[in-house]
Amino acid sequence: QRGKSIKLAREYAILEAQKATYRDTNALSQTFSELGRVNKGSKNAVKKGLTTLVEGILPFRKTPANILARGLEYSPLGLMNGINQAVYGVQKGRKTAAEAIDTLSAGLTGTGLLALGVYLAAEGLVRGLGGDDDDKRKMEEMMGHQAYALELPDGTSATLDWMAPEALPFFVGVNL
């Protein structure tokens, strides 16, 4: 019994570590991963060329797909998915209560971060990418302002782009 519990805990820890480093396998990353392999064995030159082109443009397809998947998890869509899992998935036996709570928590956290980003940007405390005016953006950069940064009242600018995976919903809110 104890050995089985340790094994389950280890498997869970590995899965969570893979999610945190964008190395897990999910439906989206699997689809992106298989994108370039579809025509690999083909003798058709056009199909081979297409495969080579896809692999040249997207050599690492799994990581961007996982970043997108985490972004969806930590968003209002993730919150709606969590509610769906809690209401219907658990009842029908497709999800455990723990899985539904985990999904619900990620969606709620991301939605809260999105709202926080909107609020802090409206208060002028956080900067997003900026507008479409490249000259204005360059001038602000020369004055010490940075994109995706906390703007303190004393003029100090500290980047927040290191916050992952939370940065995605937060800066979506900032840019909104």
> pLDDT (tens digit, 0 to 9) for every residue of the chain, 176 residues total?
677 888 888 888 888 887 777 677 777 667 766 665 655 555 666 566 666 666 666 666 677 777 788 888 888 999 999 999 999 999 999 999 988 999 999 999 999 999 999 999 899 888 887 666 777 777 777 776 777 888 888 877 888 877 766 688 888 898 88
Token pair of 85 as six digits:
């899992």
In eight-state DSSP terms, residue 21 is T
- Contact residues for 63 (Cβ-Cβ < 8 A; gap 6+): 22, 23
Whether residue 174 contacts residue 127, with contact meaning beta carbons closer than 8 Å, is answered with yes
Whether the model pTM is above 0.75: no
Determine how β-strand 149-151 pairs with β-strand 157-159.
antiparallel
Instruction: Using alpha carbons, select from 149, 81, 83, 79 the residue that is nearest to residue 115.
Output: 79
Residues 6+ apart with CB under 8 A from 92: none
Contacts of 142 (CB under 8 A, 6+ apart): none
In terms of phi and psi (left: phi > 0; alpha: psi -120 to 50; beta: otherwise), the region of 112 is alpha
DSSP string of 110-149, one letter each residue: HHHHHHHHHHHHHTTSEE-S--S-HHHHHHHHHTT--SSE
